[in-house]
Structures are given as structure tokens and as C-alpha cells.
């Protein structure tokens, strides 16, 4: 489940990061932000907006790789919808 398909942006670094996280069931907010190429504050804002799912363990937030992928897929679908509406 590697996220190596990031075009143009240091794919070796992304692959290395992804391979390290393949063994982790949950990612820290900083790790999730790095994979999404967003800031940590933005990741927390997305959770608050209920656009990105997080697992809460006590006062900690952790992220499943599947939820990060679902968020990216959702963004792609929204982009396709916007493009289709603009073409109509």
C-alpha cells in the first residue's frame, strides 16, 4: 500500500516514508500531514470539519492510511464534479 505515485515531488522520499508507514496501523498528525503534503494545523481543521476521519485515543488523534486515501479520493471526485459542471 505505498503512496509512491506522487508526480514530480521527491518520489524517493515519499516512497521511503510510505514504506515506513506500511507497518504502522495508525499515523501521528505530523505523519499524516506529511503524506498529504499539508500542514498539521490544516489536518486538524479537516478533522474538525469532519472531512478527514481520525481515531481518538484518550486525548490523542491518530490517522489510518485508508482514511487518508479516502480523503484524497473524495477530493478527486469533487474535482471531477466541478469540472463536469463547468463543461455543462
Contact 55, 64 (CB under 8 A): yes
What is the pLDDT at residue 24? Answer: 82
What is the pLDDT at residue 47? Answer: 98
* Distance between CA atoms of residues 1 and 66, nearest Å: 9
Say if residue 6's pLDDT is above 80. no
pLDDT tens, 56-78? 999 999 999 999 999 999 999 98
Domain boundaries, the chain: 26-87
* Distance between CA atoms of residues 33 and 54, nearest Å: 12
Name the average pLDDT for the chain. 80
| Cα 42 → chain centroid | 11
Give the CATH architecture of domain 26-87. Answer: Orthogonal Bundle (1.10)
pLDDT tens, 13-34? 444 555 555 568 999 999 999 9
> Taking the model in full, what pTM does it have?
0.69
The three-state DSSP-derived secondary structure of 49-71 is CCCCCCEEECCEEEECHHHHHHH
Task: Give the alpha-carbon dihedral of 19, 71, 57, 17, to 10 degrees.
Answer: 20
Contact 65, 21 (CB under 8 A): yes
Q: Backbone phi, then psi, for 56, in 5-degree steps? A: -105, 125
What is the pLDDT at residue 52? Answer: 98
What is the pLDDT at residue 22? Answer: 57
Say if residue 39's pLDDT is above 90. yes
Amino acid at each position: 500500500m505505498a503512496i509512491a505515485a506522487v508526480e514530480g515531488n521527491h518520489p524517493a522520499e515519499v516512497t521511503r516514508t510510505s514504506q515506513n508507514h506500511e507497518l504502522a496501523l495508525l499515523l501521528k498528525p505530523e505523519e499524516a500531514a506529511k503524506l498529504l503534503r499539508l500542514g498539521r494545523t490544516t489536518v486538524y481543521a479537516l478533522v474538525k470539519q469532519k472531512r478527514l476521519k481520525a481515531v481518538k485515543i484518550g486525548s490523542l488523534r491518530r490517522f489510518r492510511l485508508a482514511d487518508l486515501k479516502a480523503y484524497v479520493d473524495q477530493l478527486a471526485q469533487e474535482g471531477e464534479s466541478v469540472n463536469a459542471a463547468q463543461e455543462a
